[in-house]
Amino acid sequence: MAFNTLTLADQDVFRAAEKSAPEAYPSEINFTNLFIWRSYYRASWAEHAGCLCLIASPEGEESFGLPPAGGGDRLAALDFTMAELARLGAAPVCRRAPEILVDKLKAAGRPCVAVPDRDNDDYVYLVRQLAALSGRRMHQKKNHYNYFVAHNQFECLPVTSGLKPDLLAVQEGWLATKVERDEISPSQLRYEAESVREILEHLEELNLLGLAIRLEGRLEGFTLGELARPDTAQVHLEKANPEIRGLFVALASHFCRALPPAVVYVNREQDLGLPGLRRSKESLKPDHRIHKFTVTFN
């Protein structure tokens, strides 16, 4: 079966595969992420062995496989993906492979080498802990939140398409700060801006959950995510004015408070090896990480 370029029309197929998977996905193969980052990853897909097989072909880079999505025979689907890479003249490599897939390969005696990809591990948190900021481990974050509450008159509101101009203004301010601090490369800047424009353009179609915070009539921060599974939310982006102490903590906390009661975990995705982002994610005290690997087949 031929591999197809990913489009918004493929969403139903991917959502069905997500529901059939026995465990939480690594964040990269969530449909929303694949869609809003499609200009970078240039993902293509095909169905095989009850799974969705995925190949990424970033501009200027060799194509590589992503872990199969769905509840079918993932090893057969991975073989199919590697065969397509061979047809394309690319090395037989699967990136962002979760530990459970690596364990299946080892148990099946597949000849491969799996190297940890720490920069892309997903950080997973307990919703109740982030909502309440409770306990000794969260003391510092609770202090920042208390400062924010004591020094600001604010309101939380759901993200809707009517807020798009204000949301883009927050994004532009966030990017300007990153550029000023030399914390983002020109190529990252382009794709980051595109991904945010895409997610805001398709808020309703992607069935996203969002929360924004307004201070004194001005929108200063917002977060967007979705229910990846009945017990797990996933945060795709979080943008805010970095000059306002406690604002990011308030966004994280109030987003979790607004989630349905059945949601136990929130996946806040990876740190990409960026020192500041890693410190920030670790400071929120994750419950665990989804460990990922780069798997090369002999």
pTM summary value: 0.94
Residue with tokens 């069905």: 16
Tokens of 76: 């057969």
Domains present along the chain, CATH in parentheses: 4-120 (3.40.630.30), 122-269 (3.40.630.30)
pLDDT digits (tens, 9 = 90+) for 195-250: 999 999 999 999 899 999 999 999 999 999 999 999 999 999 999 999 999 999 99
Q: How far is CA 105 from CA 130, 201, 210, in A?
A: 35, 39, 37
Is the pLDDT higher at 22 or at 149? 149
What mean pLDDT is predicted for residues 14-20?
92
Task: Give Cα separations from 51 to 78, 87, 213, 297 (angstroms).
Answer: 9, 20, 39, 20
The lowest-confidence range among 67-76, 117-126, 184-193, 280-289 is 184-193
Residue 1's pLDDT is 62
Residues in the chain: 298
Give the amino acid at 4.
N
Arithmetic mean of pLDDT, 64-91? 96
Identify the pLDDT of residue 183.
72
Contacts 24+ apart (CB under 8 A), 50-59: 50/20, 50/77, 51/17, 51/76, 51/77, 52/13, 52/14, 52/17, 52/77, 53/3, 53/77, 53/78, 53/80, 53/81, 53/84, 54/29, 54/81, 55/3, 55/81, 55/84, 55/85, 55/88, 56/95
Q: What is the mean pLDDT of residues 14-22?
A: 90
Calculate ∠ Cα 11-226-100, nearest 5°.
Answer: 80
Using CA atoms, how far residue 199 sits from 98, 137, 158, 239, in Å, is 25, 33, 15, 13
Residue environment code for 63-72, b if the CB has 16+ CB neighbours within 10 A, otherwise e: bbbbbbbbbb
Answer whether residue 282 shows pLDDT above 90.
Answer: yes
Question: Does the structure show a pLDDT above 80 at 186?
Answer: no
